[in-house]
């Protein structure tokens, strides 16, 4: 059990957090108003998944261990691949939503270099290597007779899902779903990615601090998902004074108590408290990002270049979920007009569509699977087939 998992167990967390009334607000500052302090405490994976497993993959050079989270006993396997910097825990709330709608099994995978997966060469994040990892994990789980599988990937994970499908690494592949990843917009975004990564805090003074930042910065707009997902994005520094973990940065987060003190007593009290907090921070073990995404830049082009045509070339039924129709590039626009894949736009979401709107994504995926007669609805779920 990792240090993070031990901390979560010791926290005596509630059985399931309530669904928050609204999503997070993007921006550097956010006032909650009197009496509206939200709970940013972390939540265990076991509130959403039924089991966790470390899958050992052996090859000619040794062994690699891949962390997976599972739910469900019947139906097709939905193999979930997360985006860059995230982990399998980003699918937690979606898993609860989809399991309640259709007969299916969930396998959410921590890709190499991410989450709790431990491989000998975590720096190799090439599309070819990660696609082979996916095939190897499925083979280790199911042998020569894998069940029907639908690959679902978000962002980087969507690209890896396509590369896995094109390489025919999953012979029992039923369908393919990409979430908010399009070659044209992805390639354009790469130019500003380093600036975005530099703008993020380097460290956090606590898990709660990291969760609060993720919601208030708009990275994850759904507090419920952030409370379980951010645990997979950050790790505890070994030493508080380590050169890799400088003093915690708490950018853009305003504690409600500090706001009240500032209003009632003036700025002096706040400054005094800030000094005390800084002293405490130095004594604590800080948290930092599990993976330094800036160092993976040499692989970015390989993830996304040619992705649209690769997606269109896959012979299986395909689904594309987007946060906005403006994300479509030329090849996908033509392909969509020709009916080569099903598309659905989920507005009012950030890039982490499956975290911001897990119920809507679950409904879209469930409808897709039922439409193609890959599974059956449960719990009275009624699908509404989209127009496109």
Q: Which residues are catalytic?
A: 155, 180, 351
Cα–Cα–Cα angle for 385, 162, 119, rounded to 5 degrees: 125
The residue to which tokens 């396997």 are assigned: 77
Strand residues in the chain grouped as ranges (E): 51-59, 62-71, 77-81, 105-109, 149-154, 173-179, 203-204, 234-236, 287-289, 318-322, 342-345
Q: Which residues of 225-247 are buried (b: 16+ CB within 10 A; e: fewer)?
A: bbbbbbbbbbbbbeebeeeebee
Q: Give the up-direction half-sphere exposure of residue 151: CA atoms within 13 A in the CB hemisphere.
A: 30
Q: Which residues pair with 124 in a beta bridge?
A: none
- Which tokens sit at 335? 């392909």
Distance CA 356, CA 6 (A): 27
CB distance 31 to 254 below 8 Å: yes
Distance CA 307, CA 313 (A): 10
Cα–Cα–Cα angle for 66, 211, 356, rounded to 5 degrees: 80
Distance CA 49, CA 52 (A): 8
Q: Give the up-direction half-sphere exposure of residue 185: CA atoms within 13 A in the CB hemisphere.
A: 16
Query: Which residues, at least 6 apart from 271, have a Cβ–Cβ distance to it below 8 Å?
Result: none
Full strand arrangement of the beta sheet holding 287-289: 203-204, 287-289, 234-236
**Total length of the chain:** 388
CB distance 95 to 71 below 8 Å: yes
Distance CA 279, CA 207 (A): 18
Distance CA 364, CA 386 (A): 8
């Amino acid at each position: 059990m990792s240090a993070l998992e031990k901390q979560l167990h010791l926290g005596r967390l509630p059985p399931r957090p309530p669904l928050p009334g609204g999503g997070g607000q993007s921006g550097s500052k956010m006032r909650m108003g009197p009496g509206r302090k939200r709970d940013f405490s972390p939540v265990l994976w076991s509130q959403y998944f039924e089991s966790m497993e470390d899958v050992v993959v052996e090859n000619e050079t040794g062994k690699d261990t891949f962390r997976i989270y599972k739910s469900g006993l019947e139906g097709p396997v939905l193999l979930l691949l997360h985006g860059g910097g995230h982990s399998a825990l980003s699918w937690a709330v979606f898993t609860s939503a989809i399991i309640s709608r259709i007969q299916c099994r969930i396998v959410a995978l921590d890709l190499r270099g991410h989450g709790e997966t431990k491989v000998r060469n975590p720096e190799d994040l090439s599309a070819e290597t990660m696609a082979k990892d996916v095939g190897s994990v499925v083979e280790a789980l199911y042998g020569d007779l894998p069940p029907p599988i639908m690959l679902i990937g978000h962002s980087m994970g969507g690209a890896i899902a396509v590369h896995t499908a094109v390489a025919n690494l999953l012979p029992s592949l039923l369908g393919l779903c990409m979430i908010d990843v399009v070659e044209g917009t992805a390639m354009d975004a790469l130019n500003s990615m380093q600036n975005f990564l530099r703008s993020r805090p380097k460290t956090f003074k606590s898990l709660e601090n990291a969760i609060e930042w993720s919601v208030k910065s708009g990275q994850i707009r759904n507090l419920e998902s952030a409370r379980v997902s951010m645990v997979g994005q950050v790790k505890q520094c070994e030493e508080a004074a380590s050169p890799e973990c400088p003093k915690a940065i708490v950018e853009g987060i305003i504690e409600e108590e500090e706001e009240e003190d500032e209003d009632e007593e003036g700025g002096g009290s706040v400054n005094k408290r800030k000094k005390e907090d800084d002293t405490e921070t130095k004594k604590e073990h800080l948290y930092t990002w599990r993976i330094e995404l800036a160092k993976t830049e040499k692989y970015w082009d390989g993830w996304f270049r040619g992705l649209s045509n690769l997606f269109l070339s896959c012979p299986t039924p395909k689904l594309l979920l987007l946060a906005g129709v403006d994300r479509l590039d030329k090849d996908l626009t033509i392909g969509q007009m020709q009916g080569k894949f099903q598309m659905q736009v989920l507005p009012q979401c950030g890039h982490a569509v499956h975290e911001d709107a897990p119920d809507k994504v679950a409904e879209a995926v469930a409808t897709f699977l039922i439409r193609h007669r890959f599974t059956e609805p449960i719990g009275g779920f009624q699908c509404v087939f989209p127009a496109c």
